[in-house]
Amino acid sequence: MFAIESRRFSSKARTLQWIDRYLGVPICLLLTAVRRVGDLVHRRGGAESRQGILFLKLSEQGSTVLACDAVRAAVARVGRSRVHFLVFEENRFIVDVLGLIPPENVMTIETGSAWAMAWSCLRRLREIRRNGVDACIDLEFFSRFSAAIAFLSGARWKVGFHAYHGEGPCRGDLLTHRVLFNPHLHTSSAFMCLVLALNADPAKLPTLPVVPPQSLPLPQFQPEPGEREQLLRILASLGMPEKGRLILLNANAGDLLPLRKWEGGNYVSLAGRLLSSFPEVFIGFTGSPDEAPGIGRLVNAVDSRRCLNLVGRTTLRQLLVLYGLAEVLVTNDSGPAHFAALTDIDTVVLFGPETPLLFAARGPRNHVLWAGIACSPCINALNNRQTACRDNVCMKTITVGQVFSEVARVYQARTQESR
């Protein structure tokens, strides 16, 4: 079934935040004391990594896509077979789809319960220490949990973001290469800086006199033989003819990160306008199985045979195949916006509580709508993605008319290209 059940993941995310805040602080303080005792014996210096590099990106599959340039830089440095990745088990899929490192180099941590996560983490740490890595690069934004893993990995060089005198959450002094988080640098460039910092003298950080190179195009998802035909059969079974054109709406009807949500009624109105304006177009609503009741109500409200309910009908891999068959995806700032960047679909992304200047997927087929009101963005890495806002005016300010105009423009440009 498609993706992660959003409600279950939302509850899990809150649990992980609680653990990171209330257990992470004393753990990081204890490990900092251990580290400083060790520093009396071991001298810091620049890193010449040759044995292996481990990336930590436990959560957020969308952000993993933004780490492509950083992973490529690590591969160029030590070789593909010596780059490893540690993720939560439900986030492994996107690492495999990117195909930048061997599948056997991807390690996962179970998250079914706190005990399962702790035991799984210990097993992974033992595996990491047994195999040995020279450098551990923490891609998380100020997570105490990942900083502790980096320290316990046994890697000689531990790289990650550090607040210094800023307002970011403190997570002790567990890193050898403490990179200043720059809130004005796109996330893909910020991740690249973590790899570039391996060449720096830790004593001279946070000064890092390098310019991140221009981003390379993202890897493109390639369906296996027969996968496109399988999706076409699914669409045909729902009444879409072979020559129909498909526009997808990711209405995000669940309760995961509700401040990012664009109201469901807006999607209903948008679907109606698109169906009226383009007779050849079919609308497909996507989402996780947990969102099925809410999405079903939206599809019923559209009340058209050309409006398809695709919720729960695809695996996550099949969703990427579906993107390759469609013309445009409309979604809020979420994982699907980044997954879509791995295909040739045009994506219209609605931003509100976070900024596209840092988190939008890069590429000519990514189109952003952002109101840019004075209080937006209110969620960022420095405040641990916490906000006092309870009324997402930033999303409500984006009108159906604005989104329709952008989708129509993009769709018409695509149809002209295909002629």
**Residue of 311, 358, 367, 313 whose CA lies nearest to 340:** 367
Q: What angle do CA 395, 91, 9 make, to 5 degrees?
A: 55
Indicate the pairing of strand 157-162 with strand 53-56.
unpaired
> What is the spatial distance between Cα 251 and Cα 254, in angstroms, rounded to a whole number?
9
Instruction: Give the pair of three-digit tokens for residue 35.
Output: 């580290």
Ordered by where they begin, the domains of the chain are 20-204 (3.40.50.2000), 227-418 (3.40.50.2000)
Check residue 5 and give its pLDDT.
37
What 3-state class would DSSP assign to 54? Answer: strand
Check residue 419 and give its pLDDT.
64
Check residue 258 and give its pLDDT.
81
Check residue 8 and give its pLDDT.
44
Q: Helices 114-131 and 144-152: crossing angle, nearest 10°?
A: 30
Indicate the pairing of strand 135-138 with strand 53-56.
parallel
> What is the spatial distance between Cα 338 and Cα 65, in angstroms, rounded to a whole number?
6
Which residue reads 């939008």 in tokens?
Answer: 360
Residues, the chain: 419
Q: What is the reported pTM?
A: 0.90
What 3-state class would DSSP assign to 192? Answer: helix
Check residue 3 and give its pLDDT.
37
> What is the spatial distance between Cα 347 and Cα 339, in angstroms, rounded to a whole number?
10
Report pLDDT digits (tens) over 102-112: 999 999 999 88
Sign for the pseudo-dihedral over CA of 249, 252, 253, 259: negative
Cis peptide preceding 258, ω within 30 of 0: no
> What is the spatial distance between Cα 357 and Cα 112, in angstroms, rounded to a whole number?
34
Check residue 382 and give its pLDDT.
79
Check residue 47 and give its pLDDT.
52
Residue ranges, the chain, pLDDT below 50 = 1-10, 254
What 3-state class would DSSP assign to 79? Answer: coil
> What is the spatial distance between Cα 330 and Cα 400, in angstroms, rounded to a whole number?
12
**Residue of 344, 126, 82 whose CA lies nearest to 219:** 344
> What is the spatial distance between Cα 325 and Cα 345, in angstroms, rounded to a whole number?
8
